[in-house]
Amino acid sequence: MLRILDAKSGETVPAVSARRALTRVEVHTSGYDLTALRVLLTTDLLLRALELGGTPVLPLLTADHHQAELHAAATTLGIRPFEDGRDLAAGLGEAQVVRVTAAAGTVPGTGTVPGTGTVPGTGTVPGTGVTVAVAPADGPDAGVLGTLDDPAALRLALLDAPRGTAVHLGAGALDAAGRRLGRLRQSVAQWARSPSRPVPEKVRGRLRDAWEDDLDVPGVLGVLRWMENQPEIPDGARFETCAYADRLLALDLTRDLGRTA
């Protein structure tokens, strides 16, 4: 079961109380910058993790400004489409709720998220349910998304740090993420040429342990790196493992199938 740090209580709790009940996942953000994109990406991870665990979800976006730009960015980054939260949330009754928002701030010297999040425009986190706070990200303007040959490089760069740690994308960060993603895709394409083998249970368990532990995406990526260095795992199983992990990561890891000689 997915457990996550609740920004309101400061405790790690189950993300949802009833695993198979419809869950309203509300993302609250304002502006159009890298922090907003990171909030959207975290919400996408949450949606995917809940669905992999058997929980049906309804994603809602509430933004004070730049609603159209945020919807377009979500599409470019491979994020699931959001419904308009202002139109639908009030009519959904008592469905269980998880809210995702930018963190109110960080603890100096630690980069961790404090125990309180805010919903833009209100200064408070309303209602019941879990609130997931996302630390800020800075670097290039969010408009850089429209100039990238492969937007998944920005997705990887923003996902490759714990959610509670502030991210700074310095010069060359996106190029480095793109090269890293390209190498992994080439490996996946090469492994796909071998006979398919099931995902080893110990590898599947490590992946799920990582993402069910507060959406630990760096941990998921670490499992993939670890797997590459395990000689007893056949290439066909490496391929299936990456395809399985990509149900969460959405990095299009199988994109280069058939392109390698």
Mean pLDDT of 229-246: 97
> CATH 1.20.120 spans which residues of the chain?
176-249
Residue 40: closest CA among 92, 77, 12:
77
Residue 148: closest CA among 261, 37, 30:
37
Tens digits of per-residue pLDDT, 123-134? 334 457 899 999
Average pLDDT, whole number, for the chain?
88
Helices (H), the chain: 34-52, 67-76, 85-88, 152-159, 173-191, 201-211, 217-228, 235-249
Tens digits of per-residue pLDDT, 129-181? 899 999 999 999 998 998 999 999 999 999 999 999 999 999 899 999 999 99
φ/ψ of residue 246, rounded to 5 = -70, -15
Bigger pLDDT: 100 vs 92: 100
Q: With the CA atoms of 232, 234, 238 and 239 taken in that order, what torsion angle do they form, in degrees rounded to the nearest 10? A: 180
Q: With the CA atoms of 13, 14, 18 and 23 taken in that order, what torsion angle do they form, in degrees rounded to the nearest 10? A: 100
Cβ pair 103, 135 in contact under 8 A: yes
Band the pLDDT of 86: cuts 50, 70, 90.
low
Fold of 176-249: Four Helix Bundle (Hemerythrin (Met), subunit A) (1.20.120)
Tens digits of per-residue pLDDT, 19-78? 889 999 999 988 899 999 999 999 999 999 999 999 999 999 998 889 999 999 999 999
